[in-house]
């Protein structure tokens, strides 16, 4: 990969990677740091990676950096004596807030694959390549995550599978 191809990768993928990371962390500075680190790793291996594989490499790197950062944050909060599982329940009137709250309650793997599939539009095989999971495991995580989200929205009175309730 040459400099021009690298710069094209930055222009094409930086925003998408940032959105994906930010949706998981909800922290602007940490999200920017992860994007920067992913592109740094790409540049360090630019002689080994073709421009066709750059997108996959970038998202895979960003995903792994995100997982590492999430683990470190979790370990830090536990070592500080904070309860990492404590959740603050509030009533939301905005469906976007309710959905984001529900997404944040998902396990990291489910949240990541749902974000890659539903927010970024990646195919199952692309998600499998990015996350290092099998394609069937990606499908299982997406199914379980969507099932949880549907039940959460039902409990909030926002979504109904019962036709009579919808009328």
First and final CA of the chain: distance in angstroms?
57
pLDDT at position 44 over 70: yes
Per-residue model confidence as pLDDT tens digits over 85-114: 343 334 444 667 778 888 888 998 899 899
pLDDT at position 76 over 90: no
Per-residue model confidence as pLDDT tens digits over 125-143: 999 998 899 999 999 999 9
Number of H-type helices and E-type strands within the chain: 8, 0
Which tokens go with 124?
């199952």
Query: Distance between CA 55 and CA 57 in Å, rounded?
Result: 5
pLDDT at position 59 over 80: yes
All structural domains of the chain: 1-85 (1.10.1740), 87-167 (1.10.10.10)
pTM over 0.95: no
Q: What is the DSSP string of 51-108?
A: TTTHHHHHHHHHHHHHHHHHHHHHHHHHHTT--TT-------S-HHHHHHHHHHHS-H
Query: Distance between CA 4 and CA 26 in Å, rounded?
Result: 32
């Amino acid at each position: 990969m040459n400099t021009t191809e690298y710069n094209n990768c930055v222009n094409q993928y930086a925003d998408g990677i940032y959105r994906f990371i930010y949706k998981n962390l909800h922290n602007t500075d940490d999200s920017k740091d992860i994007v920067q680190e992913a592109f740094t790793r790409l540049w360090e291996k630019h002689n080994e990676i073709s421009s066709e594989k750059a997108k996959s490499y970038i998202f895979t790197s960003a995903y792994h950096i995100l997982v590492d950062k999430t683990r470190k944050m979790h370990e830090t909060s536990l070592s500080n004596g904070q309860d990492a599982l404590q959740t603050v329940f509030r009533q939301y009137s905005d469906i976007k807030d309710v959905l984001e709250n529900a997404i944040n309650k998902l396990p990291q793997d489910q949240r990541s694959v749902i974000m890659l599939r539903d927010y970024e539009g990646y195919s199952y095989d692309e998600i499998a390549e990015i996350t290092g999971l099998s394609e069937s495991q990606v499908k299982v995580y997406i199914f379980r995550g969507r099932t949880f989200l549907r039940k959460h929205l039902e409990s909030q009175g926002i979504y109904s599978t019962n036709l009579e309730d919808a009328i």
